[in-house]
Amino acid sequence: MSRYVDLMLFDFDGTLADTGGDLARSVNYTLRMMELPEIAPDVILTFVGDGVGKLIERALGGAGDEQRKNEALEIFSRHYEKHLLDSTVLYPGVLETLNHFRGKRKIILTNKRLCFTEKICDGLQILDYFIDIIAGDSTPFIKPAPQLLDVIRKHHYLRRDQTVIIGDGVNDLRLAKNTGILCACHLNGLGNRDDLQALQPDMTFGHFAELKDLLA
Protein backbone atom coordinates (compact mmCIF):
# COMPACT_ATOMS: atom_id res chain seq x y z
CA MET A 1 0.00 0.00 0.00
CA SER A 2 1.46 3.37 -1.02
CA ARG A 3 1.84 6.28 1.40
CA TYR A 4 0.41 9.67 0.45
CA VAL A 5 2.94 12.52 0.58
CA ASP A 6 2.69 16.20 -0.21
CA LEU A 7 6.36 17.19 0.19
CA MET A 8 9.36 15.16 -0.96
CA LEU A 9 12.83 15.89 0.44
CA PHE A 10 15.68 14.38 -1.58
CA ASP A 11 19.20 13.77 -0.42
CA PHE A 12 21.73 14.30 -3.22
CA ASP A 13 25.00 12.30 -3.08
CA GLY A 14 24.17 8.63 -3.36
CA THR A 15 20.47 9.31 -3.81
CA LEU A 16 19.77 11.38 -6.91
CA ALA A 17 23.29 11.29 -8.32
CA ASP A 18 26.14 8.81 -8.23
CA THR A 19 28.86 11.30 -7.30
CA GLY A 20 31.24 8.87 -5.62
CA GLY A 21 33.86 8.58 -8.35
CA ASP A 22 34.41 12.32 -8.71
CA LEU A 23 34.48 12.84 -4.95
CA ALA A 24 37.05 10.08 -4.45
CA ARG A 25 39.30 11.37 -7.23
CA SER A 26 39.27 14.90 -5.80
CA VAL A 27 40.07 13.58 -2.33
CA ASN A 28 43.02 11.59 -3.65
CA TYR A 29 44.22 14.56 -5.70
CA THR A 30 44.17 16.56 -2.46
CA LEU A 31 46.16 13.90 -0.62
CA ARG A 32 48.78 13.83 -3.39
CA MET A 33 49.14 17.60 -3.25
CA MET A 34 49.56 17.34 0.53
CA GLU A 35 52.20 14.61 0.02
CA LEU A 36 50.05 12.05 1.81
CA PRO A 37 49.23 8.48 0.73
CA GLU A 38 46.10 7.97 -1.36
CA ILE A 39 43.11 6.08 0.00
CA ALA A 40 41.07 3.36 -1.74
CA PRO A 41 37.94 4.93 -3.31
CA ASP A 42 35.56 2.55 -1.50
CA VAL A 43 37.04 3.70 1.82
CA ILE A 44 36.67 7.37 0.84
CA LEU A 45 32.99 6.78 0.13
CA THR A 46 32.48 5.79 3.78
CA PHE A 47 33.60 9.34 4.67
CA VAL A 48 30.75 10.94 2.66
CA GLY A 49 27.54 12.26 4.23
CA ASP A 50 28.49 14.85 6.84
CA GLY A 51 29.64 17.67 4.59
CA VAL A 52 32.91 18.50 2.85
CA GLY A 53 34.68 19.57 6.04
CA LYS A 54 34.19 16.15 7.65
CA LEU A 55 35.08 14.44 4.36
CA ILE A 56 38.47 16.14 4.31
CA GLU A 57 39.02 15.71 8.05
CA ARG A 58 38.43 11.97 7.75
CA ALA A 59 40.66 11.68 4.68
CA LEU A 60 43.51 13.42 6.48
CA GLY A 61 43.08 11.29 9.58
CA GLY A 62 45.47 12.67 12.17
CA ALA A 63 47.72 14.31 9.57
CA GLY A 64 47.63 17.98 10.40
CA ASP A 65 46.35 20.86 12.44
CA GLU A 66 43.51 23.23 11.59
CA GLN A 67 45.64 25.23 9.15
CA ARG A 68 46.56 22.06 7.26
CA LYS A 69 42.92 20.98 7.14
CA ASN A 70 41.95 24.37 5.70
CA GLU A 71 44.69 24.06 3.08
CA ALA A 72 43.43 20.60 2.12
CA LEU A 73 39.85 21.85 1.95
CA GLU A 74 40.87 24.63 -0.42
CA ILE A 75 42.77 22.23 -2.68
CA PHE A 76 39.84 19.81 -2.71
CA SER A 77 37.26 22.53 -3.42
CA ARG A 78 39.20 23.97 -6.36
CA HIS A 79 39.73 20.55 -7.91
CA TYR A 80 36.21 19.23 -7.28
CA GLU A 81 34.57 22.34 -8.72
CA LYS A 82 36.36 21.67 -12.02
CA HIS A 83 35.75 17.91 -12.06
CA LEU A 84 32.40 17.34 -10.35
CA LEU A 85 30.73 16.28 -13.60
CA ASP A 86 33.55 14.11 -14.98
CA SER A 87 31.77 10.85 -14.20
CA THR A 88 28.77 11.85 -12.07
CA VAL A 89 25.44 10.62 -13.43
CA LEU A 90 21.87 10.31 -12.22
CA TYR A 91 20.92 6.94 -10.81
CA PRO A 92 18.76 4.79 -13.11
CA GLY A 93 15.11 5.77 -12.98
CA VAL A 94 15.65 9.20 -11.37
CA LEU A 95 14.37 11.26 -14.32
CA GLU A 96 11.42 8.93 -14.84
CA THR A 97 10.53 9.19 -11.15
CA LEU A 98 10.90 12.98 -10.98
CA ASN A 99 8.57 13.25 -13.96
CA HIS A 100 6.09 10.86 -12.37
CA PHE A 101 5.96 13.07 -9.26
CA ARG A 102 5.95 16.31 -11.25
CA GLY A 103 2.87 17.47 -9.32
CA LYS A 104 4.54 17.03 -5.92
CA ARG A 105 6.63 19.72 -4.22
CA LYS A 106 10.24 18.56 -4.16
CA ILE A 107 13.25 19.94 -2.27
CA ILE A 108 16.87 18.84 -2.27
CA LEU A 109 18.11 18.57 1.31
CA THR A 110 21.83 17.82 1.36
CA ASN A 111 24.91 18.28 3.51
CA LYS A 112 26.84 19.05 0.32
CA ARG A 113 27.80 22.66 -0.43
CA LEU A 114 25.20 24.66 -2.33
CA CYS A 115 27.55 25.74 -5.14
CA PHE A 116 28.52 22.13 -5.88
CA THR A 117 24.93 20.89 -5.71
CA GLU A 118 23.58 23.59 -8.01
CA LYS A 119 26.35 23.08 -10.56
CA ILE A 120 25.75 19.33 -10.73
CA CYS A 121 21.96 19.74 -10.91
CA ASP A 122 22.38 22.23 -13.72
CA GLY A 123 24.75 19.92 -15.59
CA LEU A 124 22.38 16.96 -15.17
CA GLN A 125 19.40 19.16 -16.12
CA ILE A 126 17.27 18.52 -13.03
CA LEU A 127 17.21 21.97 -11.40
CA ASP A 128 13.70 22.74 -12.62
CA TYR A 129 12.20 19.76 -10.78
CA PHE A 130 12.87 21.31 -7.36
CA ILE A 131 11.32 24.29 -5.61
CA ASP A 132 14.32 24.71 -3.29
CA ILE A 133 17.81 23.44 -2.46
CA ILE A 134 18.84 23.47 1.19
CA ALA A 135 22.52 22.62 1.40
CA GLY A 136 25.14 22.10 4.07
CA ASP A 137 26.13 25.77 3.98
CA SER A 138 22.59 27.15 3.57
CA THR A 139 21.76 27.08 7.29
CA PRO A 140 23.60 26.65 10.61
CA PHE A 141 22.25 23.08 10.70
CA ILE A 142 23.03 19.92 8.77
CA LYS A 143 21.32 16.54 8.76
CA PRO A 144 20.30 14.94 11.04
CA ALA A 145 19.59 18.10 13.08
CA PRO A 146 15.81 18.33 13.64
CA GLN A 147 16.00 22.14 13.35
CA LEU A 148 16.20 21.66 9.58
CA LEU A 149 12.46 21.03 9.54
CA ASP A 150 11.89 24.43 11.14
CA VAL A 151 14.07 25.98 8.43
CA ILE A 152 11.97 24.32 5.73
CA ARG A 153 8.72 25.28 7.44
CA LYS A 154 9.63 28.98 7.31
CA HIS A 155 9.35 28.90 3.52
CA HIS A 156 7.23 25.86 2.66
CA TYR A 157 4.00 24.35 4.00
CA LEU A 158 4.82 21.10 5.75
CA ARG A 159 2.84 18.36 7.43
CA ARG A 160 5.05 15.79 9.10
CA ASP A 161 2.80 12.85 8.25
CA GLN A 162 2.79 13.90 4.57
CA THR A 163 6.51 14.62 4.24
CA VAL A 164 9.09 12.05 3.18
CA ILE A 165 12.85 12.22 3.04
CA ILE A 166 14.42 10.04 0.36
CA GLY A 167 18.06 9.25 1.00
CA ASP A 168 20.84 6.70 1.13
CA GLY A 169 22.47 7.63 4.44
CA VAL A 170 21.90 7.16 8.14
CA ASN A 171 21.65 10.94 8.53
CA ASP A 172 18.54 10.96 6.33
CA LEU A 173 16.97 8.20 8.38
CA ARG A 174 17.94 9.81 11.68
CA LEU A 175 16.44 13.12 10.56
CA ALA A 176 13.18 11.30 9.86
CA LYS A 177 13.21 9.62 13.25
CA ASN A 178 14.15 12.90 14.97
CA THR A 179 11.23 14.76 13.40
CA GLY A 180 8.47 12.22 12.77
CA ILE A 181 8.53 12.43 8.97
CA LEU A 182 8.60 9.41 6.68
CA CYS A 183 11.82 7.99 5.25
CA ALA A 184 12.43 6.01 2.06
CA CYS A 185 15.97 4.62 1.91
CA HIS A 186 17.91 4.06 -1.30
CA LEU A 187 19.76 0.81 -0.69
CA ASN A 188 21.96 1.02 -3.78
CA GLY A 189 23.46 4.43 -3.08
CA LEU A 190 26.71 5.33 -1.34
CA GLY A 191 25.48 4.44 2.14
CA ASN A 192 25.80 1.06 3.85
CA ARG A 193 22.58 -0.87 3.35
CA ASP A 194 23.05 -2.96 6.50
CA ASP A 195 23.35 0.20 8.61
CA LEU A 196 20.21 1.60 6.99
CA GLN A 197 18.12 -1.53 7.44
CA ALA A 198 19.24 -1.85 11.06
CA LEU A 199 17.55 1.50 11.76
CA GLN A 200 14.24 0.19 10.35
CA PRO A 201 13.22 2.80 7.75
CA ASP A 202 9.57 3.17 6.75
CA MET A 203 10.37 2.13 3.18
CA THR A 204 13.35 0.88 1.18
CA PHE A 205 14.02 0.70 -2.54
CA GLY A 206 16.81 -0.48 -4.79
CA HIS A 207 15.69 1.23 -8.01
CA PHE A 208 14.06 4.64 -8.23
CA ALA A 209 11.13 3.33 -10.24
CA GLU A 210 9.97 1.51 -7.09
CA LEU A 211 9.09 4.86 -5.51
CA LYS A 212 6.09 5.12 -7.84
CA ASP A 213 4.53 2.20 -5.98
CA LEU A 214 5.70 3.22 -2.50
CA LEU A 215 4.47 6.83 -2.59
CA ALA A 216 1.33 8.52 -3.86
Which residues form the catalytic set?
11
Output the CA–CA distances (angstroms, integers) from residue 35 to 38, 48, 67, in the order listed. 9, 22, 15
- Give the separation between CA 49 and CA 46, rounded to whole angstroms: 8
H helices of 61-214, where?
Answer: 66-83, 94-100, 114-123, 147-153, 170-179, 193-198, 211-214
Say if CB 104 and CB 8 are below 8 A apart.
yes
Burial of 151 (0-12, 13-18, 19+ CB in 10 A): middle
Reduced to 3 states (helix: H, G, I; strand: E, B; else coil), residue 149 is: helix
At residue 8's C-alpha, the angle toward residues 2 and 13, to 5°, is: 115
- Give the separation between CA 196 and CA 34, rounded to whole angstroms: 34
- Give the separation between CA 210 and CA 2, rounded to whole angstroms: 11
